[in-house]
Structure formats: C-alpha cells, structure tokens
C-alpha cells in the first residue's frame, strides 16, 4: 500500500511540474507577443502633400493670424495633405537646427495626422537605434478657455493598445512636440473653434455675431 501511495505522489509531482512549466511558457509567449506588438510600427494613415501644399498652408496661416489680430470672423479649411506637408517641413527645419545625436538616442522622424469626421489620429514615428517606433493617439480636437487640446479617446504604441490613463499620459508627451513650435501653438490657442471632416480641418478665427 505504501508503494502505491508513493507512486501516486510521484505522478502528482510530475503533473505539478508540467503545469508550472506550461505556465512559464505561456507567460514567456505572452510577454514576447506584447513586445512584438510594441515594436511593430503602425502605418502613417494621413496623406502627405508636396512642398507647394505646405506653402499654401503658410498663406492660409497668415490669413488666419490677421483675422485673429483684427478680430474678424474667418474660417480656413486646411487639407490633410497640406497639413502633413507643413509638419514635414517644420520637422526638417527642427532637425537642421539640432546637433548630431548619439546612435541610440530617440529621434522624432515623422509627425502625421489622419483626419476623419470629428476625430484626428496623430502618429509620431521615432527612430531609436535600428528600431522604428510609432506612438499613436486618436481624439477630438477642441479649443476651450483659450487652450487648444485633444480630447483623447484611445492610444497605442506600435500595435499595442494602451489603457485610457496611458493614452492620456502619452498625450502630455506629444504636447511637448507641439510646444516646440510656439508660434503655431499660440495661434491654435487663439482659435474660436475647430471642426474635422474627412481629410480636412476647419479653423475658425472668431465666431460670427448673431
């Protein structure tokens, strides 16, 4: 009888060891999957125009700035290709002013906006050593109390979705990029309204009086 009990205990020990091994493998595969999702760059969905589109946006920007200065009601519609072309020019100018960075230092290589009715998807592409990493936020742009902001709805790094708290934290980090361009940030803060349609955004300098 003691021999039978001993044998049963041995089988239980082997089953327990197998279960523990399976759990470790499952945890490892789960962690590996998260890392792969994290390092899998998301596509830049927004269309990018040419240099002449960026120049056209500069002219629209001046029109909007003058309207704000003289308190005139003007609505300027900016296309998605023009907006992304302008951001590319701004980034290129910023890189030209920066000193060379170490090979493994994070560097912002692209900033892309995809415009759909009511929402904006902002994607940044950063180069870190041999890796390309994307940070993506989707939200509703708004101007309230003299501040332009994005009401964040979702976010992800690569293809890894973030909880709401993580997406909002990432929004504060992305805001640092916009703050580097103080003139554009000041202009956005002075808007009376902003609305997003398919592949375009309307910027309002002042609400028309009834």
Q: Which residues contact 198 (CB under 8 A, 6 or more apart)?
A: 115, 116, 117
Q: Which domain holds residue 71?
A: 51-204
Residues 63 and 96 in one domain: yes
In this prediction the pTM is 0.83
Q: Return the number of other C-beta atoms located less than 10 Å from residue 122's C-beta.
A: 24
One digit per residue, the tens of pLDDT, for the chain of length 210 reads 444 445 555 667 677 777 788 888 889 898 998 889 999 999 999 999 999 999 999 999 999 999 999 999 999 999 999 999 999 998 888 776 654 444 444 578 899 999 999 999 999 998 877 888 999 999 999 998 889 999 999 999 999 999 999 999 989 888 877 777 888 999 999 999 999 999 999 999 987 555
pLDDT at 94: 76
Residue 180 falls inside a structural domain: yes
pLDDT at 93: 82
Residues 85 and 178 in one domain: yes
Contact call for residues 109 and 94 (beta carbons, < 8 A): no
Q: Return the number of other C-beta atoms located less than 10 Å from residue 4's C-beta.
A: 8
Residues 79 and 5 in one domain: no
Maximum Cα interatomic distance, the chain, rounded to a whole number of Å: 99
Residue 133 falls inside a structural domain: yes
Between CA 182 and CA 180 the distance in angstroms is 6
Residues 6 and 70 in one domain: no
């Amino acid at each position: 009888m003691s021999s039978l009990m001993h044998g049963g205990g041995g089988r239980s020990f082997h089953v327990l060891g197998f279960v523990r091994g399976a759990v470790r493998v499952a945890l490892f595969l789960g962690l590996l999957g998260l890392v792969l999702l994290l390092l899998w760059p998301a596509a830049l969905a927004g269309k990018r125009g040419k240099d002449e589109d960026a120049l056209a946006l500069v002219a629209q920007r001046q029109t909007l700035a003058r309207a704000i200065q003289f308190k005139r009601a003007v609505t300027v519609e900016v296309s998605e290709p023009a907006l992304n072309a302008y951001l590319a020019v701004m980034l290129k100018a910023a890189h030209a002013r920066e000193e060379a960075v170490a090979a493994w230092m994070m560097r912002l290589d692209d900033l892309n906006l995809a415009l759909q009715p009511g929402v904006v998807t902002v994607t940044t592409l950063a180069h870190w050593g041999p890796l390309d990493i994307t940070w993506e936020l989707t939200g509703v742009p708004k101007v309230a109390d003299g501040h332009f902001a994005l009401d964040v709805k979702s976010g992800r790094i690569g293809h890894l979705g973030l909880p709401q708290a993580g997406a909002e934290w990432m929004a504060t980090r992305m805001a640092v990029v916009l703050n580097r361009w103080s003139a554009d940030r000041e202009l956005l803060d002075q808007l009376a309204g902003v609305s997003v349609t398919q592949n375009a955004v309307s910027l309002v300098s002042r609400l028309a009086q009834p």
